């Protein structure tokens, strides 16, 4: 399994960190998780073509996770093989409206896109050995987290969320946990509205310490708020001593 980080930032793209999105290169599937801008160019930089994407998972309908969808569907307008797009019913309805706005609902394009609405707890096989399961998270009414299980490897991607220890206890053991870690606790204190919808690094380290998680990858760094990712790393390390990867844009993580 290879995890490609197309972007690692929060809601505001910066020169060094674009909005968070990932490309998961699995045995028989190439899965894009979230769809901000410039995805096609970023895929090319990592050696992929947009047409290789087999499935798109959209965690929720906030702009930094979905505004590039019309572009990617436009790029793939002549595609003939199916493209599957997964999200909550609210997210999928939003995506349909977004694509209609750009007149991207023409029959020729539409017949190859399969829109799949998932509710929390629902599973779907993406290929014979790859199972996707959706979970509810504490962020927005449209939000879903995704667990992907293939050949004994389990990767859980939370999308944006406040910390939910009960949910983590439910999905472990994990090979990889990609978790919202938008800011350090010191920054969170001054931002009550954001604090209740995202996770800070101190509580993430506390929650994951002691859980059977092989690799922790924090993401969605709101570095525009004026902290460095070293501040985040230090707070996680205060409690968590397992394998930790602090991703940069275009970082590639190979999981054996």
Binding footprint of Zn ion on the chain (CB under 5 A): 62, 64, 160
Least CB distance from residue 151 to Zn ion, whole Å? 30
d(CA 33, CA 119): 17
Of the pair 61, 202, the CB lying nearest Zn ion is at: 61
C-alpha–C-alpha distance, residues 207 and 211, integer Å:
8
Asked if 180 and 158 count as a contact pair (C-beta separation under 8 A), the reply is: yes
User: 170: Cβ–Cβ under 8 A, 6 or more apart, which residues?
Assistant: 135
Nearer to Zn ion, 4 or 59 (CB): 59
Judged by beta carbon, residue 18 or residue 55, the one nearer Zn ion is 18
Nearer to Zn ion, 64 or 235 (CB): 64
Q: How far is the CB of 17 from Zn ion (least distance, A)?
A: 12
Sheet of 21-25, strand order? 113-117, 83-87, 55-57, 30-33, 21-25, 2-7, 252-254
Q: Is 109 in contact with 77 (CB distance < 8 Å)? A: yes
Collapse the DSSP code of 225 into the 3-class scheme (helix H, G, I; strand E, B; otherwise coil) and give the result.
helix
State in angstroms the smallest separation of the CB of 11 from Zn ion: 5
Q: Where are the alpha helices (DSSP H) in the chain?
A: 39-45, 63-66, 69-75, 89-101, 107-110, 165-171, 185-188, 192-195, 201-208, 229-237
| Residue 69 CB, nearest approach to Zn ion (Å) | 15
Provide, rounded to whole angstroms, the least separation between the CB of residue 90 and Zn ion: 13
CB closer to Zn ion out of 7 and 70: 7
């Amino acid at each position: 399994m290879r995890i490609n980080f197309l972007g690692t930032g929060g809601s505001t793209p910066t020169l060094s960190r674009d909005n968070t999105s990932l490309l998961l290169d699995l045995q028989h599937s190439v899965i894009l998780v979230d769809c901000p801008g410039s995805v096609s160019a970023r895929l090319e930089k990592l050696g992929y073509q947009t047409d290789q994407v087999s499935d798109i998972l959209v965690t929720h309908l906030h702009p930094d996770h979905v505004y590039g969808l019309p572009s990617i569907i436009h790029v793939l307008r002549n595609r003939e093989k199916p493209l599957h797009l997964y999200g909550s019913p609210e997210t999928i309805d939003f995506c349909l409206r977004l694509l209609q706005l750009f007149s991207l609902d023409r029959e020729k394009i539409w017949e190859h896109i399969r829109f799949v609405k998932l509710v929390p707890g629902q599973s779907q096989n993406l290929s014979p050995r790859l199972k996707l399961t959706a979970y509810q998270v504490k962020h927005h009414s449209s939000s879903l987290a995704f667990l992907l299980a293939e050949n004994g490897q389990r990767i859980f991607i939370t999308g944006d969320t406040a910390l939910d220890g009960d949910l983590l206890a439910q999905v472990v053991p994990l090979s990889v946990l990609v978790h919202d870690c938008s800011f350090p606790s010191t920054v969170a204190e001054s931002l009550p509205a954001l604090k209740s919808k995202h996770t800070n690094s101190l509580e993430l380290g506390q929650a994951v310490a002691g859980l059977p998680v092989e690799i922790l990858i924090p993401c969605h760094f709101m570095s525009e708020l004026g902290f460095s990712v070293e501040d985040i790393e230090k707070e996680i390390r205060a409690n968590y001593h397992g394998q930790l990867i602090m991703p940069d844009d275009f970082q590639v993580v190979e999981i054996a």
